[in-house]
Structure 1
Amino acid sequence: MMMFVIFIALVAMVCINVPIAIALALAAVLAVFISDGGAALVTIALDMYNGARSFSLIAIPMFVLAGAIMNATGITRRLIAFVSAVIGFVRGGLAMVNVGVSLFFAEISGSAVADVAAMGSIIIPEMKKRGYPAPFAAAITSSSASLAIIIPPSIPMILYAVAAGTSIEQLFVAGIVPGLIGAAGLMGVAYYYAVKYNLPMEEAFNLRQLRRTFVEALPTFSLPVIILGGIFGGFVTATEGAGLAVVAAILVGIWYREVDWRQLKQAMLEGGIQTAVVMLLVAASILMGSYLTQARVPQQLAAGILDITSNQYLILLILNVFFLIIGFFLHSAAAIILVVPVIVPLIQQAGIDPVHFGLVVTLNLAIGQQTPPVASVLITACSIAKANIWEVSKANLPFVGVLLFVLLLCTYVPAVPMFLVEYFYR
């Protein structure tokens, strides 16, 4: 009965546009008050504060800031120039450049929204100028940006690791192969449509141009080497690696001597707002998580599903459908913080590796970023391209199909994401 009251209160507040973090906190306060009385509310503020001060969560604003610095210091523009010199001569090459640069940018920012905002503002107008339809340009930019939450370092992976109590570094390693497979699939679809609709080629391959852009972008290539090399080599934690990313991005920016201070200030403000939203969600989830644990809701859910089936693959199928559905309505951070603590006892009892499941959750939410009505990444791309969201969604279907293929592959062939984890850590 109490869970029904909480659910109704939460839905009602969301329907009247109360921010989900505030709605979650108020619903939790209501549940605690009804269950334990007013005296139990004394420590709520302290509980929320303690929940949001996890050391691992410091990585989130650091990676967001690193992405902002990259975009304000000409790093993104140089990346686009280099990747264009490498593959721009292929028909539809600019669409493949889009995927390639997103793949690289993902290794620094960890945020799909930051990726599409930084990349899209540069490459979407250029694609439209070259004759690419606006819906196609927005679709490929949006889908390739979702690689940012598959390729390490990934902010949703950090949130999952904190919520599930598992290793951030192992999650990062598990995302490498699926991210590369997803990038290859997106490029393949882009090439198919480029040939079918005779999309333009860029200038012919030019070795001198390739050499020049490589030299200009060379300091940029040090960023993923320093950050991911430090994390995977065991020299720094993921949180320390995030701080290292900021320092490295600043040094590269100083090297280029090209800083757009207005753009940097705006990006830092937006990043601060995004971080505040996530931290408030984390703090609110601590209250709800404490109540649910006390009410033994996760254990009851696990028992209910295990009464239906104990087969790991069927359980993963049920959870895949569940996460795909909530991805329609919740941002990735909110979905992870709300749902993962409830699901963890189930995957533990079913014998599912929490690192493997973390990648499955992340892939589901990457797809959710492409599916209205929420679709934060898709909406950002549509805004930049000035394209209708439903036309972009239609053009995006083949690219979403690639992400679904990667999801199913990683769900039912665990060796795909896990063999590197097994090799390095187990």
Structure 2
Amino acid sequence: MTGLVVFLVTLFVGVPIYVAIGLTSWVSMGSFPLTVLIDQMVSALNSFPLVALPLFLLMGNLMGAAGITRTLVAFANMLVGRFRGGLSIGAIGSGVFFASISGSAAADTSALASVLVPAMKEEGYSGGYSGALVAAAGTLGSIIPPSILLVIYGVQTGTSIEGLFVAGILPGLVVAAGMIFLAIYIAHRRGYPLHRGVSMREGLRTTFRALPVLMLPAIVIVGIIAGIFTITESAAVAVAYAVVLVLVSRRIGAHRLWSILIETAKETASVTAVIAASAALAWPLTRSQVPAELAAYVTQEVASPVLILLLVNLLLLFLGMFLAPAAALVLVTPILLPIGHELGIGSLQLGLITVFNLNLGLLTPPVGLGLFITARIAGTTYLEQVREALPFLAVNLLVLLGITYLPFVTTALPSYLGH
């Protein structure tokens, strides 16, 4: 109880999440020496698959700094721009392409919004709708591989990260397809304009420019599915390819490359600090049998597995409204694993349920980071962004129900490919 009070108070006063978790771990240790906590923190970070985390972050930062967002947007618009609402369809397609490069939903949203929102407003789309659409497209970054959150979950639970990546492909594409159909409906209902078509010569030029960029996700996804690379090897190869691509194309110089490395190191430190602190907290929790007892209590008191899964989803959605997805993920996973085991839910399905829920925090008030990012760029109010985002949030929730109650949505493809 004391640990819970410390955690809530430190969060309320604005202490960084990893410090709040660390203090809670220390208070919960009782008479055990602090060296136990240090051992747990070191063990949590002493993981070869975790090396993929900074590599994927670096890959996303490199491509973002090189300005490849405009290349991907131009390619997506070339494919679908001639249809009514084509620019909105292209925005979602750009979200899919960028998700397969970045792996971070917040980074995707920021990069896409800076290019797409002004372009959509210029074409006659409202600022509120433009921002909400791009914020929704940005959430694909945590579902479609490579996903930073899935890497963290895989390292924390010992689940195959390759399997998690494959499991995220179908749900991510279904969400994208649902949002595209919704965007087409809204475009026709509101009379949004046709985007100008392109000549064959311009289309070939755009495709030629985009191909080197599109090769990057192909290296990661195909390499993993075919069993050519492990998750860490695929990340290393992708980073090497990205460095060569941006240097050869002269998109960034050596000085900018150094600053990107520093930025990636800072991002990695912030994420791994949370992972280490959460591993320290997991030790006293596990030793006191709190997760196991909670799982037993829930499954005994709530007879219906359907209701239990609904309650789990509601809890995760609530946490995602207030906490950063990575922090919430490492906090709740040790508690959810025993519950999932009692219900017979595989770790792949549980991982997608957890990440999908927490990722929706980017679209849900009161925080809704994705909506804050796009509202600033679109020059609209936060409430207008929330209102316009509700239909896209509904699409995500429908897919979430499918992930939760239809296991084959997340397990069929990994099983077929042997993961």
Instruction: Give the alignment's TM-score, normalised by structure 1.
Output: 0.93
Matching of residues 353-368 of structure 1 within 5 Å: 353-368=346-361
Task: Supply the distance in 2 between the matched residues of 1:234 and 1:312 (Cα, whole angstroms).
Answer: 35
1:26 aligns with 2:19: no
CA distance in 2, matches of 1:315, 1:96: 36
1:413 corresponds in structure 2 to 406
Q: Give the counterpart letter for 2:376 in structure 1.
A: S
Identify the range of structure 1 (377-386 vs 126-135) with the bigger mean alpha-carbon deviation. Answer: 377-386
SS in 1 for 2:340: helix
Structure 2: segments with no counterpart, 5+ residues = none
Which letter maps to 2:209?
E
Displacement of 1:260: 6.5
By how many angstroms is 1:191 displaced?
1.4
On the 8 A contact 1:85/1:206 being kept in 2, the answer is no
2:339 is aligned to 346
Where do residues 246-325 of structure 1 align in structure 2 (5 Å cutoff)?
246-259=239-252, 268-309=261-302, 311-325=304-318
Which of residues 197, 211, 215 is equivalent to 1:222? 215
Note the C-alpha offset of 1:311. 4.3
1:6 matched to which residue of 2? 3
**Counterparts of residues 187-226 of structure 1 (less than 5 Å):** 187-226=180-219
Which residue identity does 1:5 align to in structure 2? T
Structure 1: how far apart are the matches of 2:79 and 2:315? 41
Contact 2:247 2:253 in 1 (8 A): no
Distance in 2 between residues matched to 1:19 and 1:250, nearest whole Å:
32
How far is the alpha carbon of 1:265 from its aligned partner? Answer: 5.9
- Residue by residue, what CA displacement relative to the aligned partner does 1:215-235 show, whole Å, maximum 9, x if unpaired? 121211211111111111112
Q: Structure 1 residues 344, 245: closer, same or farther in 2, change over 3 A?
A: same
Give, in angstroms, the shift of residue 36 of structure 1.
1.4
User: Which structure 2 residues correspond to residues 231-250 of structure 1 after superposition, within 5 A?
Assistant: 231-250=224-243
Runs of at least 5 residues in structure 1 that lack an aligned partner in the other structure: none
CA drift at 1:254: 3.3
Please say which of residues 381-390 and 233-242 is displaced more in the overlay.
Answer: 381-390
Letter in 1 for 2:321: F
**Is the contact between residue 44 and residue 156 of structure 2 (CA under 8 Å) also seen in structure 1?**
no
State the one-letter code of the partner of 2:79: V
Which secondary structure does the structure 2 equivalent of 1:300 belong to? helix
Summarize deviations over 1:94-146 as a string: whole Å, max 9, x none: 11111101101111111101111222111122222222211111111111111
- In 2, distance between residues paired with 1:182 and 1:59? 26
Match of 2:73 in 1: 80
Describe the SS at the equivalent of 1:328: helix
CA-CA distance at 1:75 after TM superposition: 2.4
Q: CA contact under 8 A between 1:64 and 1:114: conserved in structure 2?
A: no
Pick closer, same or farther for the CA change 1:282–1:88 going to 2, 3 Å.
same
CA distance in 1 between partners of 2:265 and 2:273 (Å): 12
| Aligned partner letter, 1:308 | E
* Equivalent pair of 2:38/2:280 in contact (CA under 8 Å): no
Code of the residue aligned with 1:244 in structure 2: it is: V
- 2:45 aligned residue (52, 63, 71): 52
Deviation at 1:269, TM superposition (A): 4.5
Query: Which residue of structure 1 lines up, in the alignment, with residue 393 of structure 2?
Result: 400
Q: Does the CA-based 8 Å contact 1:110-1:154 persist in structure 2?
A: yes
Partners in 2 of 1:120 and 1:261 — Cα distance? 27
Aligned equivalent of 1:36, options 22, 31, 34: 31
CA distance in 2, matches of 1:270, 1:377: 20
Q: 1:224 to 1:24 in 2, by over 3 A?
A: same
CA displacement, residues 248-295 of structure 1 (integer Å, 9 cap, x when unaligned): 112222342322778766655544333221111011101110010111
Is 2:162 the counterpart of 1:169? yes
Partner secondary structure for residue 417 of structure 2? helix
Distance 1:57 1:377 in 2: 26
Distance 1:335 1:7, change over 3 A: same
Measure, in 2, the Cα distance between the counterparts of 1:52 and 1:277: 13
Tell me the SS of whatever aligns to 1:175: helix
State the SS of the aligned residue for 1:195: helix
Alignment correspondent of 1:70: 63
1:36 is matched by which residue type in structure 2? S
Letter of the structure 2 residue corresponding to residue 26 of structure 1:
L
Distance 1:57 1:223 in 2: 20
Tell me the equivalent position of 1:16.
13
Q: Distance in 2 between matches of 1:95 and 1:266?
A: 33
Kept in 2, the 8 Å contact 1:72–1:260? The answer is no
Tell me the distance in 1 between the aligned counterparts of 2:120 and 2:301. Answer: 50
Q: What is the match of residue 179 of structure 1?
A: 172
Residue aligned with 2:196, SS: coil
Within-5 A mapping of 1:362-401: 362-401=355-394
2-structure distance, mates of 1:387, 1:85: 28
- The alpha-carbon distance between structure 1 residues 385 and 132, as it changes in their structure 2 partners (threshold 3 A), is same
Corresponding letter in the other structure for 2:113: G
Deviation digits for residues 169-224 of structure 1 (CA, Å, limit 9, x no counterpart): 11111111111111111111111121122212211353332222111212112111
